[in-house]
Amino acid sequence: MSIKGNAYLAGIYEHPARHAPDKSTAQLHAEVARGVLEDAGLTKADVDGYFCAGDAPGGVMAMADYLGLKVRHFDSTDTGGCSYLVHLGHAAEAIAAGRCSVALITLAGKPRTGAMPPRAQGAEADFEAAYGATTHNIYGMCAMRHMHEFGTTSEQLAWIKVAASHHAQYNEHAMLRDVVTVEDVLNSPMISDPLHRMDCCVVTDGGGALIVTTEAMARSLKKPLVRMIGAGEALKGPRGGKDLNLTYSAGVWSGPAAFAMAGVTPKDIKYASIYDSFTITVLMQLEDLGFCKKGEGGKFVADGNLISGVGKLPFNTDGGGLCNNHPVNRGGMTKIIEAVRQLRGEAHPKVQVPNCDLALAHGTGGLLGVRHAASTCILERV
Amino acid sequence: MMDSTVKYPAPQGNPETKAFWDATVEGKLMIKRCTACGEPHYFPRSICPFCFSDKTVWEESSGEGEIYTFSLMRKSASGPYAIGYVTLKEGPSLLTNFVDCDMSSLKIGQKVKVVFKTTDGAPLPFFTPV
């Protein structure tokens, strides 16, 4: 059975906290699980599938036990920040196959309160770990090469942060609510060339959760119906140093797969949640997904084209990772949540896209300039 | 310059990569080449990541290449450092730091060559402008 149209997003929940020094990580997982069940109108006893990633203390066995879940299907795929988009696709597969009927997906953690555990390393460790690769400088290297090949400018990148800030001003929970200008971004301190501080996302505690379910269950609940019609996932790495190309991501594969399944094109999308760990992340993804041609992302994002009510492609209307929330340094969860808000008509009235019936949520995980994953999900209001 | 004061971690090594680290002691940068498909690769594997043949052999790299991209990392407790990718003359690209140089004048396409820095174990390869 195809997963197209067979899995419904019946529950969404974003933890309101951005700094949670007095809570445990497991506790935050439980809080978002409670929150999402309340949003959906379900109880814990209804959950028969559970999905979590590397942020869940002790992994899926410990987390399911802590939460007191009894499930017949589980998945702990970890692809960094896009894990939850991958989980959404996998949950849809499980529901289409009859492996579960109510899937719970949780994310939570506290990077604002304390340091995160070191990134897991593979066989490359001896050959790379000494060189100090961090998210900032790896994404800086992507931006540097993009500028070199396509003439992309810091001003163009800054417009992405400007658009996010226009949206964040209306979000009472957003970490950063001040509207900023291109000049503000360019005048913020340089972190790793050519990325300034305001090219970088926020670091926040908190989390979020989703409920994915069957059509029959979704129709028995009270929320507007939102279903998945396309999903794609992909991996990319330098593969022996031969395939190194920092100007595109695995989104060039996950995007077309999702669009093909959904039977729609980028032109049809009314709202897009695009992973925004850095401004360059957004610019590259917009190109890779086909919203503009490769190399023309700079022109595409300039002059407010991503601002709801102003430009052609409203994006990250919650303020995104750049301004609102990037819980546990993993932004895939909040990308799905805001897309569902838009499809339900529950976004803030100042940023709600009129008659939003088709939305995309896309993310990458890992390090864009090294080894990473991408996942694209296309959702529609029924 | 920051790179002269940094203590770099010693490679852990393993049976698959032992020959690489033995060679850095001699000041040599080794890559692997597959004799079945002819493709070179880095970091070294015993099985070719392209054609999956086990007919891979060690080959000494010229240690010469050019900068594919870089970033000057300023947010660092031990001082700024330049991280980047070098594309070797032989073809493979690798992650490295640029050392013993004016980090503010690095350019994409710039010619660089390998230099080795000591650790408590085998020396590590870095690159510096020619």
Amino acid at B82: A
What is the pLDDT at residue B4? 53
What is the pLDDT at residue A121? 85
Average pLDDT over residues A103-115: 95
The CA distance from A148 to the nearest CA of chain B, in Å, is 8
Residue pair A179/A165 in contact (Cβ under 8 Å)? The answer is: yes
Give bridge partners of residue A137 from the DSSP assignment: none
What is the pLDDT at residue B5? 64
Q: Express each pLDDT in A318-351 by its tens digit.
A: 999 999 999 999 999 999 999 999 999 999 999 9
A349 Cβ contact partners less than 8 Å away, ≥ 6 residues apart = none
User: Which two three-digit tokens encode residue B22?
Assistant: 């033995």
Query: Would you call A246 and B68 a contact, using CB atoms and an 8 Å cutoff?
Result: yes
Amino acid at B111: K
Q: Which residue of A has its CA nearest to B83?
A: A131
Give the Cα separation of A332 and A321 in Å (integer).
10
Q: In this model, does residue B6 exceed pLDDT 60? A: yes
Average pLDDT over residues A301-308: 98
Q: In this model, does residue A26 exceed pLDDT 80? A: yes
What is the pLDDT at residue A182? 98
> Which residues of chain A are within 8 Å of residue B106 when distances are taken between CB atoms?
none
What is the pLDDT at residue B42? 97
> Which residues of chain B are within 8 Å of residue A239 when distances are taken between CB atoms?
41, 49-50
Q: Express each pLDDT in B58-117 by its tens digit.
A: 999 999 999 999 999 998 888 999 999 999 999 999 999 999 999 999 999 999 999 999
CB pairs under 8 A between A and B: 113
Give bridge partners of residue A50 from the DSSP assignment: A74, A104
> Which residues of chain A are within 8 Å of residue B118 when distances are taken between CB atoms?
none
The CA distance from B3 to the nearest CA of chain A, in Å, is 11
What is the pLDDT at residue A147? 98
pLDDT level of residue A117 (50, 70, 90 thresholds): confident
Residue pair B101/B109 in contact (Cβ under 8 Å)? The answer is: no
Give the Cα separation of A148 and A85 in Å (integer).
31
User: Which two three-digit tokens encode residue A191?
Assistant: 């972190």
> Which residues of chain A are within 8 Å of residue B95 when distances are taken between CB atoms?
127-128, 131, 133, 370
Q: Phi first, then psi: what are they for A122, rounded to 5°?
A: -105, -155
pLDDT level of residue B38 (50, 70, 90 thresholds): very high
Average per-residue pLDDT in chain A? Answer: 97
* B124 contacts chain A (CB < 8 A): yes
Q: Express each pLDDT in A42-88 by its tens digit.
A: 999 999 999 999 999 999 999 999 999 999 999 999 999 999 999 99
* B129 contacts chain A (CB < 8 A): no
Give the Cα separation of A337 and A165 in Å (integer).
18
Average pLDDT over residues B18-31: 98
The CA distance from B100 to the nearest CA of chain A, in Å, is 15
Using CB atoms and an 8 Å cut-off, which of residues 124-143 of chain A contact chain B?
124-134, 136-138, 140-143
Query: Would you call B75 and A126 a contact, using CB atoms and an 8 Å cutoff?
Result: no
What b-and-e string marks burial along B44-70, b requiring 16 or more CB atoms within 10 Å of the CB?
bbeebbbeeeeebeeeebebbbbbbbb
Q: In this model, does residue B1 exceed pLDDT 90? A: no
Residue pair B93/B77 in contact (Cβ under 8 Å)? The answer is: no
pLDDT level of residue A120 (50, 70, 90 thresholds): confident
The residue length of chain A stands at 382
* A123 contacts chain B (CB < 8 A): yes
pLDDT level of residue A225 (50, 70, 90 thresholds): very high
Q: Which residue of A has its CA nearest to B39?
A: A242
Average pLDDT over residues A170-183: 98
Percent of chain A whose pLDDT exceeds 70: 100
* B37 contacts chain A (CB < 8 A): no
Of A271, A336, A355, the C-alpha closest to A12 is A336
A269 Cβ contact partners less than 8 Å away, ≥ 6 residues apart = A291, A313, A358, A359, A360, A378
Q: How do A73-75 and A49-51 pair as beta strands? A: parallel
Query: Would you call B73 and A190 a contact, using CB atoms and an 8 Å cutoff?
Result: no
Q: Express each pLDDT in A226-247 by its tens digit.
A: 999 999 999 999 999 999 999 9
What is the pLDDT at residue A95? 97
The whole-model pTM stands at 0.96
Q: Which of B95, B96, B110, B126 has the highest number of chain A CBs within 10 A, making it the mutation to test binding with A? A: B95
Lowest mean pLDDT among A134-148, B1-15, B31-45, B109-123: B1-15
